Amino acid sequence: MYTVYTWATPNGRKPLILLEELGLPYEVEPINLREHEQFTPAFLAISPNNKIPAIRDGALTLFESGAILTYLAEKHERFLAPSGPQRYRTLQWLYWQVAGLGPMLGQLGFFEKQDAAVAKEHFSAEAERLLNVLDRALAGNTFVAGDHFTIADIACYPWTQAAAGHLGLNLGGKPAVQRWLEQVGSRPAVERAMAWQPATP
């Protein structure tokens, strides 16, 4: 059984979505970011970058959501083609999400809570640009990397959903993104993973 070290954040939900899609048993070890549990020695032994999510599979521990998604997809031979162009189309969008969409929306979420108008304007503009990139990709594809649901969708969905939700970005001019959010969000595994919340003390 997998152990997922996570919290209720967009990055934290990515491995939950994939494990649900794969129908695999797992347990969640909540890492309370508000209580700074990501800095405890026990968690740092698993995730030296003090970031969630992380995962344990027997003796193997992994951190970084992109690495976790790739590992699980390859191990279970689903949601990532084993070779060929489709594999690399999926990986390019996975890397785009972990390098661009996620960090930019995360920064926007941070500065949203600050009174820093210039920073908010900067990150809002970059977030808007990245969401337009996503909309253009989805305008020609059913899913992010083509015709099939892959780990690229799993990586992008929680952050894009957050952009439309508590980050307050307007997706009105992005019909392909809106269609994709509804399509992915209606998958039972995604619904279950997105509904997960840490137990309140």
pLDDT value at residue 188 = 97
User: CA 49, CA 68: separation in Å to the nearest integer?
Assistant: 14
For residue 164, being part of any structural domain is answered with yes
Note whether 12 and 101 are same-domain residues. no
Q: What is the CA radius of gyration of the chain?
A: 17
For residue 16, being part of any structural domain is answered with yes
Whole-number average pLDDT of the chain: 92
Note whether 39 and 60 are same-domain residues. yes
In which domain, by residue range, is 130 found? 85-187
Note whether 177 and 105 are same-domain residues. yes
In the structure encoding, which two tokens stand for residue 183, read together?
């399509």
For residue 6, being part of any structural domain is answered with yes
What is the DSSP secondary-structure string of the chain?
-EEEEE-SSHHHHHHHHHHHHHT--EEEEE--TTTTGGGSHHHHTT-TT--S-EEEETTEEEESHHHHHHHHHHHHT-SS-SSSHHHHHHHHHHHHIIIIIHHHHHHHHHHHTTT-HHHHHHHHHHHHHHHHHHHHHHHS-SBTTBSS--HHHHHHHHHHHHHHTTT----TT-HHHHHHHHHHHTSHHHHHHHH--PPP-
For residue 201, being part of any structural domain is answered with no
Note whether 164 and 99 are same-domain residues. yes
Note whether 167 and 118 are same-domain residues. yes
For residue 200, being part of any structural domain is answered with no
User: CA 114, CA 120: separation in Å to the nearest integer?
Assistant: 9
Count: domains in the chain: 2
Note whether 106 and 28 are same-domain residues. no
Note whether 165 and 115 are same-domain residues. yes
Low-confidence ranges of the chain (pLDDT < 50): none
Note whether 73 and 102 are same-domain residues. no
Structure pTM? 0.77
pLDDT value at residue 121 = 82
CATH number at residue 23: 3.40.30.10
Note whether 96 and 58 are same-domain residues. no
Note whether 7 and 99 are same-domain residues. no
Q: 135, 176 in Cβ contact below 8 A?
A: yes
CATH number at residue 91: 1.20.1050.10
Note whether 163 and 101 are same-domain residues. yes
What pLDDT digit, counting tens, does each position of 110-131 carry? Answer: 777 766 777 778 788 888 988 9
Picking from 108, 180, 118, the residue whose alpha carbon sits closest to that of residue 150 is 180
Note whether 111 and 177 are same-domain residues. yes
pLDDT value at residue 50 = 87
pLDDT value at residue 115 = 63
